[in-house]
Amino acid sequence: MKTIRQTYSIKAPIERVWQALVDPKEIEGWGAGPAEMDDKVGTLFKLWGGDVHGKNVEVIEDKRLVQEWYGGDWPEPSKVTISLQADGDDTVLNLVHEDIPDKEAGSIDDGWNRYYFGEMKKYLEKG
């Protein structure tokens, strides 16, 4: 099993970045829809119409989101931890994605940047 660590600096307030993580309308705005998501512990979520799905296990508004993630036909979930910190008018987002099947780690690492946080960053920074 592999672990991915990534950091992003997003030119948007922390509250706006948080909404882009937990509000289905915002999620669909940056491209991971159709989405089912909210900011409650225990929520079963779906992104990209269910291609990625799982459960919120820890939610601290504007600070930390921890989720169990399933992709494809994984028998066990991986663990995603997203932490946010304000840096002036910007937000620093740290990702730790643990327990990824070895053979999928490369494409998932690329996918976070290309389809998830890369798209979210573009969406939030254009206003």
pLDDT of amino acid 73: 77
Residues of the chain with pLDDT under 50: none
CA quadruple 96, 100, 106, 112: dihedral sign: negative
Secondary structure (3-state) at 7: strand
Measured in whole angstroms, the distance separating CA 115 from the mean position of its chain's CA atoms is 10
For the chain, list the domains and their CATH numbers.
2-125 (3.30.530.20)
Residue 8's pLDDT is what? 97
Name the packing angle between helices 118-125 and 14-22 (round to 10°): 130
Give the DSSP letter string of 62-99: TTEEEEEEEETT-SS-EEEEEEEEEETTEEEEEEEEEE
Location of structure tokens 């730790």:
96
Q: Output the CA–CA distances (angstroms, integers) from residue 83 to 64, 70, 105, 108, in the order listed.
A: 4, 20, 20, 19
Place of tokens 């389809």: 115
pLDDT confidence of residue 4: 97
- Residue 60's DSSP bridge partners are 64
